[in-house]
Amino acid sequence: MNYPELFTPTKIGKVVLKNKLSMAPMGPVGYADAFGAFNQRLQDYYVERAKGGIGLIITGICSVDIDIEGLSKPGLPCPTQTPLAFIHAAYQMNERIHAYGTKIFVQLTGGLGRSALPGFVSKCIAPSDNGNRFDPKVIHREMTKEEIENLIRKFAMAAAISKKAGFDGIEVHAVHEGYLLDQFAIPIFNKRTDEYGGSLENRLRIATDIVKGIKAACGKDFPVSLRYSLKSCMKGLRQGGLPGEEYEEAGRDIEEGIEAAKILVEAGYDALNVDAGTYDSWYWNHPPMYFEEGMYREFGKILKEHISVPIILAGRMENPELAVEALKTSCDMIGLGRQLLTDPYYPEKIRTGRLDEVRPCLGCHEGCLGRIGNAPVSCAVNPSCGREKIYGLVPAHKIKKFLIIGGGPSGMEAARVLAERGHKVVLCEKNGELGGNLIPGSVPHFKRYDRALINWYQRQLELLNVDVNLKCEITADKISSYQADEVIVATGSTPIELSFGGTGKAILANEVLQGKEKQGKDIAIIGGGLVGCETGLWLAQQGANLTIIEATPEILGGPHGLPHMNRFMLEDLLAFHKVKILKTTKVVSIDEGSVTYENDNGTESIPVDMVISAVGYKENNGLYESLKNSDMIVHNIGDSQKVHNIMYSIWNAYELAREL
């Protein structure tokens, strides 16, 4: 056994867990059936993680009463909506989970309050009158005392139903992340003057009354965990504080967080599932790739000095050596969230010494939280996540030989899937390494998980005996020599090059990232999309003086261009590193030592010693266009079909290769 410290049994209350690894709660929005029960896809999703060796599963949020905020149906699972249907579905799921020696807690939520995405609820409530986190014009009214008392009763009722459904415990959601119960706990959101406002004890009363009600309904030995943020990490409303940034805490500071934890544990909570942040500092609760690993360890370490119940700690803890170290100083169990979306078998792989086979989480949020509102939670690099039984791989009925042209993400994914299904696969890449546009994209330290994904694909192709040929450029006249039954073109995309006029030139971002051009000190980047902004951040972190020039009114594609937490953090990091951003600005010319631009303020030139172009990519589809009308069976996937993000490069390749 590898890393035995992670695989020794532990306890929460009187419930014995087979190891110290838990699945962190992630919202199952869209996975409820019409009765508010766990649908079959959600059951299979959790069972798959139990098969992978996790010791404890904590489900994503289940509403204690969908009518409190007027949640749409079907949306979140809800024990009180149709109790018998909830019991029947969950009991069967829990029987299957228990067969693997895994325990499961259901996470119960009282609601979102001001943190609800506009349109997600029809009744806008909060502890006091508050503007919505995302749209301040939407006002959430103050809850009545009767509504609060009803909410507390519904927690106890939902817990009793969940116990009957075979769950091993409850997690209360949450004095955490700025959700409804957390809004009660934080003075900036709670201006009440009754017994639910004012003093810390009063602001925590709803959370303490809930655990007392659950214990009364389910018994004192039925364990109840609490999702808990020690610190809010807020500079103000809708303003997060970055790691290492000095600011005055506008929410719950560490001192009050310690006192609150003591009160909550005294009230009856058997464990604290610890992190930091609120929706106003959303990137703390859902860490993008810009964080270092283990960002909650300092908070767990502080709490361990003051409370005696077990602490569960997540926050990019998938490095097993880091996890082992954290168990010594900061926590009693390790929480794993998105890593179990990408790879349900992570626990078994590290236990059996197969670290090089662990598919990495990129921290992109594209497949998980970025899809909420349009589709259920899944994963950008694991297309079968959340649809394990209906979208898994099946052996090919007829074995064929495939030639794949291009070794970027879509080409590698197609090769992996086809080979896993039993086909014979030859992959040809014209460059000296696999990865395509991931190669320059993975250069910044904060994109290290992209490099890890390339390494994972290389290992998978080795294990599956895919015939990989590097420095092998395929032209139309060479294809017949491979005697393939079908051809897949995955030739990717190339940077768009624009002419800006003047005597100077713009260097492509990928050339700078790969070190093909000497970096400057005063730099202008043309294009404020993801490539331009991340290249700018990388250079600014090295001390460059950066100006980003964007032709549209918004960088990063605006509010819907990236998942919120990634966009918020990247924008804050650019500001922290003093990157100047010019929006609605057009480059007029580039000359030796300067760039000239125009906007509503007129025309201006600034001195630069480097100009970088990051205005997007175009399909590299020439080979496919030359082949599509031939007698061969030819497919076009990835960026060579349509330039998109990495998720769709992988997902579209998976879809094609799964069906061939």
Active site residues: 179
Distance between CA 639 and CA 22 in Å, rounded? 37
CB–CB of 8/332 below 8 Å?
Answer: no
Distance between CA 71 and CA 68 in Å, rounded? 8
Q: Around Cβ 558, how many Cβ atoms within 10 Å? A: 11
DSSP per position, 239-290: EE--TT-----SS--HHHHHHHHHHHHHHT--EEEEE--BGGGHHHHS--TT
Distance between CA 11 and CA 15 in Å, rounded? 5
* Amino acid, single-letter form, for residue 15: V
Question: Vertex 512, ends 509 and 513: CA angle to 5°?
Answer: 85
By DSSP bridging, strand 103-109 and strand 169-175 are parallel
User: For the chain, how are helix, strand and coil distributed in percent, rounded to 5?
Assistant: 35, 20, 45
CB–CB of 51/43 below 8 Å?
Answer: no
Here the tokens at position 128 are 């006091």
Q: DSSP 3-state assignment of 587? A: strand
* Amino acid, single-letter form, for residue 111: G
Contacts with 105 (C-beta within 8 Å, 6 or more apart), sequence order? 56, 57, 58, 59, 167, 168, 169, 170, 171, 223, 225
Four-residue CA torsion sign, 600, 602, 607, 613: positive
Distance between CA 102 and CA 22 in Å, rounded? 9
- Select from 26, 40, 24 the least CA-distant residue to 369: 26
503 to 511, 517, 596, 606: CA distances (angstroms): 20, 18, 12, 15
CB–CB of 177/285 below 8 Å?
Answer: yes
Distance between CA 524 and CA 444 in Å, rounded? 18
Strand partners, 319: none
CA 353 from centroid of its chain's CA atoms: 26
* Amino acid, single-letter form, for residue 520: G
Strand partners, 595: 590, 606
Buried b / exposed e across 314-353, counting CB within 10 Å, b at 16+?
Answer: bbbbbebeebeebbeebbbbbbbbbbbbbbbbbbebbbee
Distance between CA 154 and CA 161 in Å, rounded? 10
Here the tokens at position 498 are 């624009």
